[in-house]
Amino acid sequence: MRKLILTVFIFINIITLAQRKSVLIFHSYHSGLEWTDNITKGIKKAFTSANDSIELYFEYLDRKRNLGDEYYAQLEKLYLIKTQNWDYDAIIACDNAALDFTLEHRETYFKNTPIIFCGINNYSDDLITNQKNITGIIEDPDFMATISLIKMNHPLVTDLHIINDNKTKTAIENKKVLEKIEKQFPYSLNFHYWENLSINEIANNLKELTYKDAVLLSTYNKDKDGNFISFKKNREFIPKDYSIPVYTTWKFFLYGSVIGGKIISGEDQGYRAGLKALQVVHGVNADSIPINKSSLSEYMFSYEMLKKFNINKRSIPKNSQILGEPQSFYTINKKIIFLIAIIFTATIIIILILTKAIIRTLNAEKSLMAKQKDLQKRYQFEKVNAKIVSLLNSTNDFTFVIDKILEEIAENYLIDKVSLYSLNNQARVENVIGSKTINNSSIRELNKDEYFHLERFIKIVNNEGLFISPDLSNLIAEEKKFYRSRVINAIALFPLKIGENMFGLAALAHHSPIKWSDEQINEITILIRLISNAWERNFQMNKHLKAEQKIAKASQMVSQASRMASIGVMASGITHEINQPLNALRVTVDSIKFWDKRNTGQIPEIVTNKFSTLSKGINRIDEIIKHMRSFWIAPTENDLFEQIDLTRAILNAYSLIERQIKEHHIKCTINIPPEELLVRANFIQVEQILINLVINAIQALDKTSIKNKSIDISIINHEDRAILMVSDNGTGIDSTIGDRLYDPFYSTKKEGTGLGLALVKTFVDRIKGNINYQNNNNGGVTFYITIFKANKLQAK
């Protein structure tokens, strides 16, 4: 049943993704302009019900601040590039500039996409002649109604001062409308246009007005010097407690000392346009949706200003919106009573539902925490496992790294001492291969004359597979005395075998009694088997090297390939082991989130937030696992010369090592072309090249004590090739080393494997590229990787 539900859930998600629509909101002006932002707010409100089925994209022409022909010409070039891959289901053109641009370039840029316009001044049908699949809403400021209000509410006013510029298209069109209205007041009202003034000049003029004057805020976005003036600055023209009546036709001016008027709302324009766009997206032809040609203005007033100018509510139109009006006692209490009734009716049901939901949530949280803890343990084990495998595969002689391996086991399982003994043909201890003590433990290693104390345990381990004594209670008296005299109160012994042949013994000792869990014993057993395999492999390898000294270098290369394959197998094993609990965790979290979506509000918000955080973490782990899998896939011969984007490969590789760079307190600078750069190479191997070079740089910088450690990653785009440069300000490279730096197993670091740069050289040679290096002026080294571009290499 669970599998069926999961399958249906996944199927629904796939259908939803396939049906997802996209809508372009094309603004005439810039983001941050109140009119623009209000339209955006209204559009988003209209699309709220669409959830994730429709994606909104925004473009801004910025024509308030940039009016020149040169700017317009550059816009045409820009959108010629940007629209190449555009495929929208509808376009909402906001204001005249955006609509003009869209119609002018509709066939070239927008592929006859349905258009919904809003905020259009001085609309006429000629504007969309011969256009199909188009509808919209006009922006028709009702200046006549607002001016009539001024005359009615302020009968002594004889002069109307209109703040309006003479540069922006909207302002110029507004003046044409006002000039027609002016003719209807030939004697009772004088019109004065403040349209070629600076901010200071407007402010000074306002101070000179008297009781016979009134102000109308129109469109003033450019001063006489062509500087852009925001709507916010327009409002600031009007001083606080200004005694002259000020009216407007736009909602964003309705603040401070502005009384009101017949108002156009950007949010309302956007909302209505959004509703029409929803119809279009759902299959309705735009031509069948009527264009709103009448004014959508509504009477709005400031309660504070009506009171200040003694304007009675009866003298303003009915159904006017009065902003800031105090609510009556009855209205307030009516809502409270209604809410109390609802709360009282639903209280018992809600309590029962919430109680049940909380219990389920707590149980689910406990289960998730347990699974998370188990996942963390598994991850920690896989991490130790991978590190031990890496150490074993980093050298021809595992005895060189055995102390590090034993230290990893001791620290991970909190064991005071871990020792490794080799056995002779009589199953007796021959010598100590490795031993590691942690936590400043006083436990010392056995002397040769004390090896006989292990003989009984060797027989038990050989027969039963292991021997565990968490408190020495299963030891004989003499053995207890011996171990306690050495401050040992817990031991665990594991065999090192190849088949049925036991050739070694791993011994764990602790100063106090300790209870090892079955899971820990199983994990330690796996790690001991890895050591057994490495021990046997080391024996066979040394035997082979002695017999075949003339082909030593060839054997080293075979060993290198074997170790790299082992790392790939282990990485695959790690991702497989992590994927099982990860998928279970993902299903649990997604199921709970799905249930919560269907039962909104029944799980506390803090819990749903935790689930969201957990879901993001799971997705991040899944991305890492997928990349680990692809990272170790050996490329075919054809894959070595596939066409790839070098910039994307470099950014992808950097995302994997970015955290490590930051943890080492290193500043990394990336300077790569913003455009696509196609080369002939293998994507994963290019990632490996960068990762190996950066890791070498990090290790070099760790040896220095400089404060400002840095790594620079750059790509130079030449005519027929690209050059990848990786620089650091670390220790540099000795000039006597030369090309030996790329030899397998050659390393300048004690802890180095000598494989990193050898692999880089191999990958570069495969794609017919070049690699070289030189010390730079910053004290470090710069590596240069030359990769031929796709068309150039193919031509060669």
Average pLDDT over residues 303-311: 91
What is the 3 state secondary structure string of 587-632?
A: HHHHHHHHHHHHCCCCCCHHHHHHHHHHHHHHHHHHHHHHHHHHHC
pLDDT at 792: 58
pLDDT at 10: 43
Highest mean pLDDT among 26-30, 541-545, 704-708: 26-30
Average pLDDT over residues 452-458: 86
Does 394 score more than 90 pLDDT? no
pLDDT at 28: 92
pLDDT at 438: 82
Could you tell me the pLDDT band of residue 12, with boundaries at 50, 70 and 90?
very low
Residues 334-349 have pLDDT tens digits of: 777 777 878 888 888 8
pLDDT at 9: 41
pLDDT at 551: 47
d(CA 381, CA 370): 17
Does 60 score more than 80 pLDDT? yes
Does 620 score more than 70 pLDDT? no
Could you tell me the pLDDT band of residue 107, with boundaries at 50, 70 and 90?
confident
138 Cβ neighbours under 8 A, 6+ residues apart: 120, 121, 123, 291, 292, 293, 294, 295
Does 168 score more than 60 pLDDT? yes
Average pLDDT over residues 575-585: 68
Pick 499 or 635 by higher pLDDT: 499
Residues 262-275 have pLDDT tens digits of: 999 889 999 999 99
639-795 CATH pick, 3.40.50.1010, 3.40.1380.20, 3.30.565.10, 3.60.40.10: 3.30.565.10
Average pLDDT over residues 229-246: 84
Does 103 score more than 50 pLDDT? yes
Hey, do 402-532 and 639-795 end up sharing a CATH topology, with the first three levels equal?
A: no
pLDDT at 15: 42
Average pLDDT over residues 368-382: 82
Element (H, E) at 479: helix 477-484
> What are the residue ranges of helices labelled H in 47-168?
69-82, 95-104, 143-153
Q: How many residues does the chain have?
A: 796
Does 727 score more than 70 pLDDT? yes
Average pLDDT over residues 540-567: 55
Homologous superfamily (CATH) of 20-140+264-295 is Response regulator (3.40.50.2300)
Does 465 score more than 50 pLDDT? yes
Q: What percent of the chain has pLDDT over 90?
A: 23
Does 629 score more than 80 pLDDT? no
141 Cβ neighbours under 8 A, 6+ residues apart: 121, 174, 177, 249, 250, 262, 264, 295, 297
Does 439 score more than 60 pLDDT? yes
pLDDT at 271: 94
The residues spanned by each domain of the chain are 20-140+264-295, 143-256+296-323, 348-396+556-633, 402-532, 639-795
Does 214 score more than 90 pLDDT? yes
Does 520 score more than 80 pLDDT? yes
Query: Among 286-295, 385-394, 598-607, where is mean pLDDT lowest?
Result: 598-607
Highest mean pLDDT among 112-121, 579-588, 756-765: 112-121
Average pLDDT over residues 236-243: 84
Average pLDDT over residues 137-155: 91
Report long-range pairs for 28-31 (Cβ below 8 Å, ≥24 apart).
Answer: 28/61, 28/63, 28/64, 28/94, 28/95, 28/96, 28/97, 28/98, 28/99, 28/119, 29/60, 29/61, 29/62, 29/63, 29/64, 29/65, 29/95, 29/97, 30/60, 30/62, 30/64, 30/65, 31/58, 31/60
Query: Among 327-336, 338-347, 377-386, where is mean pLDDT lowest?
Result: 327-336
Does 785 score more than 50 pLDDT? yes
Confirm whether pTM is higher than 0.75: no
Does 211 score more than 80 pLDDT? yes
Average pLDDT over residues 463-475: 88
Does 316 score more than 70 pLDDT? yes
pLDDT at 570: 55
d(CA 95, CA 120): 5
Does 185 score more than 60 pLDDT? yes
Does 558 score more than 50 pLDDT? no
Domain 143-256+296-323: CATH class, spelled out: alpha beta
pLDDT at 639: 56
Could you tell me the pLDDT band of residue 178, with boundaries at 50, 70 and 90?
very high
Could you tell me the pLDDT band of residue 155, with boundaries at 50, 70 and 90?
very high
**Helices first, then strands: H and E counts in the chain:** 21, 24
Does 218 score more than 50 pLDDT? yes
Query: Among 4-18, 65-79, 282-296, 348-362, where is mean pLDDT lowest?
Result: 4-18
pLDDT at 550: 43
Average pLDDT over residues 65-78: 87
Element (H, E) at 453: none
Element (H, E) at 387: helix 329-392
Mean pLDDT, the chain, whole residue set: 82
Residues 42-58 have pLDDT tens digits of: 999 999 987 778 999 99
pLDDT at 14: 42
Does 399 score more than 80 pLDDT? no
> What are the residue ranges of helices labelled H in 224-328?
231-236, 266-281, 303-308
Query: Among 60-64, 530-534, 780-784, where is mean pLDDT lowest?
Result: 530-534
d(CA 677, CA 440): 56
pLDDT at 159: 95
pLDDT at 57: 93
Write down the CATH number for the domain with range 402-532.
3.30.450.40
Does 441 score more than 90 pLDDT? no
Average pLDDT over residues 609-634: 64
Does 190 score more than 50 pLDDT? yes
Average pLDDT over residues 215-236: 86
pLDDT at 372: 81
